[in-house]
Amino acid sequence: MAGLAVVAGSKAPILPGHPENVDVRSESVSVRQLSPDGVSLWLYEVALASGEVRWDTEHGDEALYVLEGAVHVCGNSAPRPVPTRGAVVVESGVAVSVRCDGPVRLLHMGPRELSPPAAGPLGAAENNGHSVHAVGPRGIFEKCEPGRETRFYADSSCPTCRITLMLTGRSQRYVSEAHSHSQDELIHLLSGEITVGRDVLGPGDTLYVAADRRYTFTSGDSGFSFLNYRRDASFHTLARGGEPVLEGGAAHGFAYVGDLR
């Protein structure tokens, strides 16, 4: 289907190194590409025995999600720990390193375009004061109720970055309404199963959805959990020709939990 692409995690080969502009230092490194070729966003699974990931200043807004293990964000202050299910948001142009003292498995995502968005729904982010956010497992905004868990680690409302990184899931069968988003997105399945058209995704698989592409998905009987990454703030539209609604934890009035390290 045009505007949709699936990458099966179990079939993703191990790469000779990290293709993006980061320096991965470890005695044992495994990198697999989980995003389709030729799209605006990229996603890699990075496994380290121990070591660090270093950024220079030539990058866009990027994020790490900790699948297994723990990392420490190292900068001008004391190292900030980020455990399993936490995230690190590296704002554009910031030089930083993330260290792990034992085995970790990470999801690393970012945009092909290194310049921060300038004309999205919330306008351009501030040019000065860029930093690194170390976010714990509860995220920054949450909406949790029986059968549902949704957490934003970044929701594009930060003054100095426009990245969105969200975890959402259900504990029972779920059928989404047909809808579209105004930004390209990557959906990485963490648990359960979802069906999109003829494609059935399981844990470790990734779905790319182009901006303004309408789609729906159905979960398995035990529900699902996935990460959703976008480069910029997005509008969500249900009915064709309907009123677009700004997305995000702040925009939807989710509870602010501020699990920052």
Residue 246 has pLDDT above 60, yes or no: yes
End residue of a domain, out of 117, 133, 149: 133
Residues 6+ positions from 242 with CB-CB distance below 8 Å: none
Residues 6+ positions from 110 with CB-CB distance below 8 Å: 20, 41, 42, 59, 60, 61, 62, 63
Question: Mapping DSSP to helix (H, G, I), strand (E, B) and coil, where does residue 33 land?
Answer: strand
Long-range contacts of 10-17 (CB under 8 A, 24+ apart): 10/204, 10/205, 12/45, 15/44
Contact 97, 56 (CB under 8 A): no
HSE at residue 207, side-chain half, CA atoms within 13 A, is 27
Please give the structure tokens belonging to residue 115. Answer: 């310049």
Q: What is the pLDDT of residues 144-194, one digit of tens each?
A: 999 999 999 999 999 999 999 999 999 999 999 999 999 999 999 999 999
Taking CA atoms, 163 is separated from 28, 104, 124, 152, 170, in Å, by 30, 23, 12, 11, 24
Give the mean pLDDT of 214-241: 97
Q: Is residue 6 part of a domain?
A: no
| 120: Cα separation from own chain's centroid | 18
Residues 121, 41 within the same domain: yes
Q: What average pLDDT is seen over the chain? A: 96
Residue 1 has pLDDT above 70, yes or no: no
Contact 150, 164 (CB under 8 A): no
Residues 6+ positions from 84 with CB-CB distance below 8 Å: 66, 67, 68, 69, 70, 137
Residues 127, 146 within the same domain: no
φ, ψ at 9 (rounded to 5°): -60, -35
End residue of a domain, out of 86, 115, 133: 133
Give the mean pLDDT of 190-202: 97
Confidence of residue 233 (pLDDT cuts 50, 70, 90): very high
Q: What is the pLDDT of residues 48-75, one digit of tens each?
A: 999 999 999 999 999 999 999 999 999 7
Taking CA atoms, 37 is separated from 34, 42, 130, in Å, by 9, 8, 29
Q: Is residue 192 part of a domain?
A: yes
Domain that holds residue 210: 141-256
Q: Give the separation between CA 206 and CA 220, rounded to whole angstroms.
A: 16
Residues 94, 160 within the same domain: no
Q: Give the separation between CA 222 and CA 62, rounded to whole angstroms.
A: 31
End residue of a domain, out of 133, 165, 199: 133
- Structural domains in the chain (count): 2
171: DSSP letter: S
Residues 80, 155 within the same domain: no
Q: What is the pLDDT of residues 120-141, one digit of tens each?
A: 999 999 999 999 999 999 999 9
φ, ψ at 77 (rounded to 5°): -105, -175
Q: Is residue 178 part of a domain?
A: yes
Query: In this structure, what CATH number is given to the domain that contains residue 241?
Result: 2.60.120.10
